[in-house]
Structure 1
Amino acid sequence: MTKQEALMETREPNHAIAEEDRLRADLYDFLAVLLAAPPSDALLAKTASLSGDAETDLGTAVAALSRIAKHSKAPAVEREFNALFIGLGRGELLPYASYYLTGFLNEKPLAALRRDMAARGMTRAPNVYEPEDNIASLMEMMASLITGRFGKPASVAEQKTFFNKHIGPWAGHFFTDLEAAKNSVLYASVGAVGRVFMEIETEGFRMSAE
């Protein structure tokens, strides 16, 4: 599996959305791909080509990720990915909502997510067995809601509901753990990008209610 889209059956979006929302969706998708599987040389090259605004926290984090990607090779990053997420029996981190919210896998947060997925026509691909509440899948789902990959684009209120229920309560903690993980090198910068992005999204959704 080299693309996160393998986790779910998707329809290509054909909707006009605001440029700001397109950029948000692109970042969610980018995080999804990086967290779904070890990046290829092509993805590392794409990551190395990114630039960020040094005057913003997110831009600074993206620029740092780009610098590390320039000096990273796919085999080394694959070993890093495996140590973080796979390991012998389990990796250093367990990137699942159920684990972060309850301390166990396959718990109520997964059941709640599956209900919301079914209501929106989201389905896991039949050849994929990883629980849907993993961070990569949730990043992809959020991008899909923004772009309308499963129908019309979700409203801000609908995005906020999904984010606050399935992502907001734990994703920031996961990305902070990823930054600090002993096996993180490239993925420490992925964690920084994710953490700052989750902070921006949380504040954006909070402001949307005012």
Structure 2
Amino acid sequence: MTTTQAMAFETPDQGEEAARAEIYGVLAALFYAPPAQALLDAIAAAPAAGDSQLEQAWSELADACRHAQQAAVREEYEALFIGVGKPDVMLYGSFYLSGFLMEKPLAELRADLAKLGLERSEAMTESEDHLAALCEVMRHLIQSDDAALGNLAAQQKFFDTHMRPWILTCCEAVEGHPNAGFYRFAALLARRFFEVEMQAFDMA
């Protein structure tokens, strides 16, 4: 999970893979729970230099972090993603793929995670098909030293199976929600990043 250390969109000594893993980590941290002030400050201190849509989305999120109040962001997170009863916006793949939670897509995901040698931590309160959990898996695959896991084919297979079919719809649901303020920028970054991922995988 992303920590409070200073982050950069991409630096000369990082390389593309490290930058990808970092963004997956940032998205996991932002969507798993309301971000701590330290995370907001770290993102605010790392504006992107460039004019691509992804870099512009990062810059907009960094600006939102500079003006954000942690308590207000927490209230927004809870209103959007927790709520009373059914959340306003679902962050679970099973919901978008089947219309229900804890359905067949989650079982298939768990089977694939087992093949990768991964399982849900007891400390994790969300199911494995949560957007943040899936981002953590992608970050793990990118950073893995295991040749069977840390290769583009394994990343693409996992992404195409468990994220591509629904992830943009989820991002758009957050962006379009009338009560989304800070999280509109977080979802915009996520959508732009996932679009770049899809394009890269399609060209691989």
Fold-level match, TM-score > 0.5?
yes
**Of 154, 159, 162, which aligns to 2:158?**
162
Would you say 1:122 and 2:123 are equivalent positions? Answer: no
* SS of corresponding position for 2:157: helix
- Change in CA separation of 1:67 and 1:4 when aligned onto 2, cut-off 3 Å: closer
The residue type equivalent to 2:46 in the other structure is L
TM-score (norm 1): 0.87
Pairs within 5 Å for 1:10-49: 19-49=15-45
The residue type equivalent to 2:130 in the other structure is N
**Of 46, 56, 76, which aligns to 1:50?**
46
What are the superposed Cα offsets for residues 34-64 of structure 1, whole Å, 9 maximum, x if unpaired?
Answer: 0011011111111111212341000110111
* SS of corresponding position for 2:102: coil
Runs of 4 or more, structure 1, over 3 Å off, are: none
Identical columns (%): 36
CA contact (8 A) 1:4 1:140 kept: no
The gaps in structure 2 that reach 5 residues or longer are 4-13
- Change in CA separation of 1:4 and 1:96 when aligned onto 2, cut-off 3 Å: farther
- Change in CA separation of 1:175 and 1:70 when aligned onto 2, cut-off 3 Å: same
CA contact (8 A) 2:175 2:183 kept: yes
CA contact (8 A) 1:179 1:188 kept: yes
Distance 1:128 1:205 in 2: 29
Query: How many residues are treated as equivalent by the alignment?
Result: 193
TM-score (norm 2): 0.90
Distance 1:92 1:78 in 2: 15
CA drift at 1:85:
0.6
CA RMSD of aligned residues (A): 1.7
Distance 2:55 2:196 in 1: 12
Counterpart of 1:86 in structure 2 is 82
The residue type equivalent to 1:24 in the other structure is R
The gaps in structure 1 that reach 5 residues or longer are 6-17
Distance 2:2 2:106 in 1: 18
